C-alpha cells in the first residue's frame, strides 16, 4: 500500500485530499500545525502528525516518523488579500516562509529517499493567481509564482532519478479558509485611497461565476500523483481550467 504525506491537512484542500486518498486505500499521513483527531475518519491507514513547515526541526521529526513516502503534497499555505502598499513586509515574509520556503524545505527533506528508491512524486499546490494577473493579490501571487518556476525546474532535475514533480493550480474557492489563517485582516490592507478601486473587486469576489470546490483539488491531486504522461500543471476547478486554456 502506498503512502502519501499531505501538509496543511486541518481544513480545505488538504483535508479533502486526505479523505480522498484514504478512500482510495492509501496510507495517509495528514500533517497540521495543531493536530486534530476528529476531522478525519478513524482508520489504520491514517496517521495525524504535528508539522510546522517553517521549522526545520519539525520537518525533520515528521520525515523521520513518516518512513517511506511515495507522494508528498505541499498544500500548507497562507493567504493574503489586500493592497501591496499597505501590506507589512513582516507579513509578506511570513507568507513566503510558508508558501515558498516551506514548500522548498519539505521538498528538500523528502528528495533523498525518493532519489534512492528512484520513484516518488512531489505535488505542489499553487493557485490560479499564477495563470493570470489578479488585483489585490501581489504578495500572495509572488509567493506562488516562485513555486511554479521552482517546480518546473525541479521536474527536470528529478526525472533523471525517476521522481516526478507536479503543480496543482486551484481556482477561487470562497468556502476555503484562504484569508482566515492569517493574523492580518483584509480591512487593514485597504487604505482609503484605494477604496474606490477595491470595492468593485470585492463585489466580484462575492459573486464569482465559476468557483473551485475542495473535491476538485483532491481529484486533481489524484490525477497528478498517478500521471505518467509527463504533465506538469493540473488546473483544478472550472475557473482555473478556463484560465489555463486562455493563457
Q: Tell me the three state secondary structure of residue 81.
A: coil
pLDDT at 210 over 80: no
Instruction: Give the integer Cα–Cα distance in Å for 140 and 224.
Output: 23
Condensed to tens digits (0 to 9), the pLDDT of residues 101-136 reads 999 999 999 999 999 999 999 999 999 999 988 899
> Which pTM value belongs to this model?
0.93
- In the chain the beta strands, taken as DSSP E runs, fall at 3-6, 27-32, 46-50, 71-74, 121-125, 164-170, 233-236
What integer pLDDT is reported at residue 109 of this predicted model?
Answer: 98
Is 140 annotated in the active site?
yes
What integer pLDDT is reported at residue 110 of this predicted model?
Answer: 98
What integer pLDDT is reported at residue 176 of this predicted model?
Answer: 52
Q: Which of 13, 140, 172, 194 is catalytic?
A: 140
27-32: strand order across its sheet: 46-50, 27-32, 3-6, 71-74, 121-125, 164-170, 233-236
- Domains defined along the chain, listed by start: 3-246 (3.40.50.720)
Amino acid at each position: 500500500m502506498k503512502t502519501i504525506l499531505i501538509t496543511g491537512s486541518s481544513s480545505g484542500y488538504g483535508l479533502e485530499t486526505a479523505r480522498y486518498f484514504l478512500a482510495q486505500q492509501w496510507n495517509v499521513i495528514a500533517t497540521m500545525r495543531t493536530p486534530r483527531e476528529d476531522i478525519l475518519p478513524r482508520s489504520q491507514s491514517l496517521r495525524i502528525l504535528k508539522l510546522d513547515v517553517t521549522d526545520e526541526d519539525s520537518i525533520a521529526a515528521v520525515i523521520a516518523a513518516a518512513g517511506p513516502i511515495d507522494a508528498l503534497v505541499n498544500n500548507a499555505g497562507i493567504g493574503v488579500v489586500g493592497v501591496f502598499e499597505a501590506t507589512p513586509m513582516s507579513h509578506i515574509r511570513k507568507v513566503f516562509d510558508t508558501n515558498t520556503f516551506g514548500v522548498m524545505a519539505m521538498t528538500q527533506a523528502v528528495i533523498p529517499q525518493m532519489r534512492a528508491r528512484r520513484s516518488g512524486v512531489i505535488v505542489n499546490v499553487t493557485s490560479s493567481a499564477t495563470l493570470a494577473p489578479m488585483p489585490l493579490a501581489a504578495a500572495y501571487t509572488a509567493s506562488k509564482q516562485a513555486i511554479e518556476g521552482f517546480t518546473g525546474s525541479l521536474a527536470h532535475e528529478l526525472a533523471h532519478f525517476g521522481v516526478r514533480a507536479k503543480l496543482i493550480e486551484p481556482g477561487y474557492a470562497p468556502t476555503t479558509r484562504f484569508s482566515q489563517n492569517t493574523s492580518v485582516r483584509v480591512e487593514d490592507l485597504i487604505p482609503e485611497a484605494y477604496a474606490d478601486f477595491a470595492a468593485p473587486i470585492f463585489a466580484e469576489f462575492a459573486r464569482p461565476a465559476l468557483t473551485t470546490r475542495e473535491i476538485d483539488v483532491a481529484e486533481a491531486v489524484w490525477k497528478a500523483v498517478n500521471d505518467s504522461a509527463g504533465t506538469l500543471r493540473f488546473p483544478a476547478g472550472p475557473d482555473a481550467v478556463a484560465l489555463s486554456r486562455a493563457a
